[in-house]
Amino acid sequence: MADDVNTTTGIARHGAARLPSVEIDSFNIELKDDEGFLGDRASKGAFRKIFDHWRKPLRKSGKDPFGDEPSENISKKTLDAILVGDDTEASAVVHTAIEEFAQELAYVTRRFLKTKAWADTECIVVGGGFRDSRLGELAIARTEIILKDEKFDVDLVPIRHHPDDAGLIGALHLAPSWIFEAFDSILAVDIGGTNIRCGVVETGWKKAPDLSKASVWKSDLWRHADDEPTREGAVKRLVKMLKGLIEKADAEGLRLAPFIGIACPGVINEDGSIEKGAQNLPGNWESSKFNLPASLVEAIPMIGEHDTAVLMHNDGVVQGLSEVPFMQEFEHWGVLTIGTGLGNARFTNRRKDNGKKGGKDDKDDEKGDDKKASKKKAKA
């Protein structure tokens, strides 16, 4: 039985709250207000609704600069071009939509910051597909200004890597440190409601042990929403993609680790099952009889000369983990991913000032050391 396969020998558990570099204080929080889930107010779909709303006055007067094209079909690239184009009326519509969306994102972010799990958050990284556009960057910057004006002492920054790459690169931070000493790359999988992306991620560990030089060497994308496969069909396609990448990495002479890191929507249980949140994936991924990590180990039992290990975590968490090397000046930080929904995770760094990782028993000592260091710097 695939469910009996141990997929995490010698590494953390699936959906673990404690990873080599960070403690995961919370993820996939589903906050609500009178209108429903808060995430629905700051998603890609929410922006399109706002954009469409501001087209209506012009549409009624026959002056809609976007013609009859449905709002959801107008690409981010087109909207970015309009922002700097000569059509002032069209540009005004987009700018107005950005402002209203920023107000919504500020409201949602404010609610997160007021929760116990997000207390003392110093920086929030914003990722997801919406970030990959000029209008997304403007919305993030405007949201930060709104929050600063309301006396929230928190920075909002766009995720550094392209969102497609971030979801793969973050998988490196699920892996144990011995992998980086013995191998130069890993396999990573980013599963979404529309696409499944697989990649070979080069660690760049020799150049930067903090993994800040990591990059996607090669990736493969399948838009499963177009094919509407069964769950079993989706797994078979995923296995085929991974095997293809293994062959390419071998042909290139890469030292590929026997490790597959997976980013997947929903609440991930430590046995690799999915508790909830996978409703947009093909088939029933929340069934107690389905276990993706075990299925992959069964299909790819070895990579090179070693047994395959698989570790799966929430997709928002994994995308956020790509920022670990760049968040070391903060103790508490979070990630919001604007996509079909609003992914979220809050982290506490486990690294001491000297760059060494702390153990479970010295977490409190780390906080004390950080406070002492801050006082010394203040005196200096």
308-355: pLDDT as tens digits? 999 999 999 999 999 999 999 999 999 999 988 889 999 999 865 434
The mean predicted confidence, pLDDT, of the chain is 89
In a domain, residue 371? The reply is: no
In a domain, residue 375? The reply is: no
Q: Is the pLDDT of residue 157 over 70?
A: yes
pLDDT band for position 226 (50/70/90)?
confident
Q: Is the pLDDT of residue 165 over 60?
A: yes
Structure tokens at 156: 């909002």
> In the prediction, which pLDDT does 102 show?
98
In a domain, residue 28? The reply is: yes
CATH of the domain at 103: 3.30.420.40
The range of the structural domain enclosing residue 92 comes to 1-349
Are the beta carbons of 126 and 158 closer than 8 angstroms? yes
Q: Is the pLDDT of residue 365 over 50?
A: no
> In the prediction, which pLDDT does 61 show?
83
Are the beta carbons of 192 and 213 closer than 8 angstroms? no
Q: Is the pLDDT of residue 360 over 60?
A: no
In a domain, residue 363? The reply is: no
> In the prediction, which pLDDT does 65 show?
85
Kindly provide the b/e burial profile for residues 337-362, where b requires at least 16 CB atoms within 10 angstroms of the residue's own CB. Answer: bbbbbbbbbbbbbbbeeeeeebeeee
Neighbours of 60 (CB within 10 A): 9
In a domain, residue 373? The reply is: no
Are the beta carbons of 356 and 21 closer than 8 angstroms? no
Name which of 117-131, 136-150, 220-234, 364-378 the model is least confident about: 364-378
In a domain, residue 30? The reply is: yes
Cα diameter, the chain: 69
- Selection from 58-72, 197-211, 272-286, 361-375 with the highest mean pLDDT: 197-211
> In the prediction, which pLDDT does 356 show?
45
> In the prediction, which pLDDT does 60 show?
84
Residue type at position 315? D
Q: Cα separation of 278 and 290, whole Å?
A: 12
The percent of residues in the chain predicted with pLDDT above 90, rounded, is 72
> In the prediction, which pLDDT does 355 show?
45
In a domain, residue 45? The reply is: yes
Residues in the chain: 380
> In the prediction, which pLDDT does 352 show?
52
In a domain, residue 161? The reply is: yes
Structure tokens at 67: 């013609």
Alpha carbon 80 to chain centroid, angstroms: 23
Neighbours of 306 (CB within 10 A): 13
pLDDT, mean of residues 252-274:
95
Structural domain count, the chain: 1
Q: Is the pLDDT of residue 150 over 90?
A: yes
